[in-house]
Amino acid sequence: MSAEYTVKYYTHNTYDESVREAFFSFLIIPCQDETQTVRSLSFENSLQAEVFHHHNPFGFEVTSLRTAQNFTEFEFQMTATVEKSPVYLPTGSRLLSVEEEQSLLARHDFYIDHHLYLATSPYTQIKDELYGRLLFRKENQPVFDYLLQLNTFIYQMLRFDPEPTHVHTTVSEVIELGRGVCQDYTHLFIGVARLNKIPCRYISGYLNQGLSLSGTAVMHAWAEAYIPGHGWQGFDPTNNLLADINYIKAAHGADYSDCSPIRGMLRTNGAHRTSYGVEIIPNQMAESAQ
């Protein structure tokens, strides 16, 4: 059964010195795919600057604005209405046998097609000496069964804690810490899946706030792994869940560096502070339908 949400993203920046020129880019719009449709979209900003749109290298819509007026404070808000349709799990006759999965994952043309999501990166590369702490796929274990096990393994391996990590924390540092936020859980899931030759990508988006789950107060991160015979399936190791109708995707990439929600270039001499948050509101029509 479908559901509909109002998604609000807002940010508030303050600057110690006057900003003389600025350029901001936001990768925050819910994307259109086979499980979600954007019904409405609007933007507001305190500078009254005109916004314009373009696509990033992965095809996701980026919202940008530029201003040459002086300011010391900047507020920005996006409001979107999104309809989500059911997400079908990789079960039943659509799945391949273990032998067929192994054959596909070992093919050279498959690697070429998915190399971006099989290669390591500074965020997802795991030191060799940490391999003994990880969960590897057993011989003849189906890919989906293994990834379900990995999702639970990482959920139990880490403790959700926003204090010790930041946007530049690597997955090896997270393993040593044993703590982190959704970005860290996701990079660890991606790093281990790729060690097992399974294509895996980073997802940035929103999570229904009515479920009392970790990561709902801000933009959430989870992973999508490629299941042979099925396609991409979302896994949320932060909450030990599969991505379903409560997950609203904005963008994907190889890791966080492809999905940063906000980027900017400023002409100013002072420091700045940024605060942001999200609201995910189930619409009344969706609630009554459920």
Q: What is the pLDDT of residues 121-134, one digit of tens each?
A: 999 999 999 999 99
What is the mean predicted confidence (pLDDT) over 72-98?
88
pTM score, two decimals? 0.92
Q: Where in the chain is the domain with CATH 3.10.620.30?
A: 98-258
User: Using one digit for the tens of pLDDT, what is the confidence trace for 228-250?
Assistant: 989 999 999 999 999 999 999 99
Does the pLDDT of residue 61 top 90, yes or no?
A: yes
Does the pLDDT of residue 161 top 60, yes or no?
A: yes
* Pairwise CA distance, residues 280 & 217, whole Å: 9
**Comparing 269 with 40, which gets the higher pLDDT?**
40
Given CATH 3.40.50.280, say whether it is the number of domain 98-258.
no
DSSP codes, 243-277: --TTEEEEEEESSGGGT-SEEEEEE-SS-EEEEEE
CATH number, domain 3-84+260-283, options 1.10.472.10, 2.60.40.2250, 3.40.1410.10, 3.10.20.600: 2.60.40.2250
The token pair that represents 104 in the structure block: 């596909």
Q: Where in the chain is the domain with CATH 2.60.40.2250?
A: 3-84+260-283
User: Using one digit for the tens of pLDDT, what is the confidence trace for 17-57?
Assistant: 999 999 999 999 999 999 999 999 999 999 999 999 999 99
User: What percent of the chain clears pLDDT 90, i.e. is strictly above it?
Assistant: 79
* Pairwise CA distance, residues 183 & 58, whole Å: 19
Band (pLDDT 50/70/90 cuts) for residue 288 is: very low
Map tokens 């916004």 to a residue. Answer: 51
Does the pLDDT of residue 165 top 90, yes or no?
A: no
User: Using one digit for the tens of pLDDT, what is the confidence trace for 172-221?
Assistant: 999 999 999 999 999 999 999 999 999 999 999 999 877 777 766 789 99
